[in-house]
Amino acid sequence: MKFLVVLTIFLYFGTISSSRPKPYKAIFNFGDSLSDTGNLLLSGALTFPAIGNLPYGETFFRRPTGRCSDGRLVIDFIAEAFGLPYLPPYLSLHEKGKYYQGVNFAVAGATALDSKFFYQQKIGSLLSTNDSLSVQLDWFKKFKSSLCNSNKQDCENYFKRSLFLVGEIGGNDYNYPFFVGGTIQQLKAVVPLVVEAITNATSALIEEGAVELVVPGNLPIGCSALYLTLFQTPNEENYDPRNGCLKAFNSFSKYHNEQLKLALERLRLKYPHARIIYADYYTSAMRFINTPLKYGFYNGTLGACCGGGGPYNFNNSARCGHVGSSVCKDPGSSANWDGVHLTEAAYRIIAKGLINGHFTTPPLKHHIL
């Protein structure tokens, strides 16, 4: 009898939970390789794209999808949490005027600043794509115009009930100059330009009808296997004793994030009707970087799971997916995937922190985990 009562209660509440309306009708994402679900691959910008082959995608999808990881990204976990399908890359869409439950405009290698800026700095040849944040915004406007010609009211309601993610983006704006000898002091002068590009895009989306927007900050680049390899030094004072990360580069990431938060505060005053949410990727990631064993990263957080050797298993001449590289047996026990990007296991932890509201300011309105 007790079993039947418990079962009845379980079924009753289960029915309520499953029939609960979804908080968002759709998710729209803009950014770079941290959230690209296939646009760079579909663009044909790369002649021999490693992300188009295994081991990329091996953990969850069991095939390469154009994601720069072994499996799912933060954006995938967010879609799952809100009961929405994985976001299709914009360049894969075939039906114009269709109300999709999400579209991903992010492109791996994308910058917040237009490519023109980098060509003016004589480093434009380093860019893996010209599909910057403003290009992605243009794609969104084309997508929107194909929807809103017939019924503007339905279109407005659709976007009001959608979640927009503007990034993470901006990391590549610093990566390209850093990799050719740019100094931290020189790159600090670029931060206001990058932050302005991000906030301008956020503002433009609000003008287009977005109401709830998440704007993530940058990850701690001083903990990246790529940075640790390129900028390694015998000077132990340059490393954080708690985790082995490069202190100066992490301080730079924090500087960018602080400037971005200040700019978002000003944007909230301009658009009081919108919920502009800052997502703290940096602090969320530092949890498992500082205490890897607590989060199951028994192979560490700094060395790449997939790479071509070296102190951090990152070798630019034998990068993940290229000849001379190999992949670890259990990507889930590593936080770093290929020296630049994280594993699905690490992205899951970051995403859960955002969805639960611990690392979003203000918290996501409809957190459900």
Active-site residue numbers? 33, 338, 341
Count Cβ atoms within 10 A of the Cβ of residue 99 and give its class: 0-12 exposed, 13-18 middle, 19 or more buried.
exposed
Residue 88 makes CB contacts below 8 A (sequence gap 6+) with 37, 38, 100, 102, 103, 104
Cα 83 to Cα 229: distance, rounded to the nearest angstrom:
40
Phi and psi at 246, nearest 5°, equal -80, 115
Cα 67 to Cα 338: distance, rounded to the nearest angstrom:
12
Structure tokens at 119: 């060509």
Angle at the Cα of 68 from the Cα atoms of 225 and 125, rounded to 5 degrees: 80
Residue bearing tokens 């434009």:
124
Q: Is the peptide bond before 55 cis (omega within 30 degrees of 0)?
A: yes
Cα 339 to Cα 319: distance, rounded to the nearest angstrom:
8
Residue bearing tokens 């979804």:
22
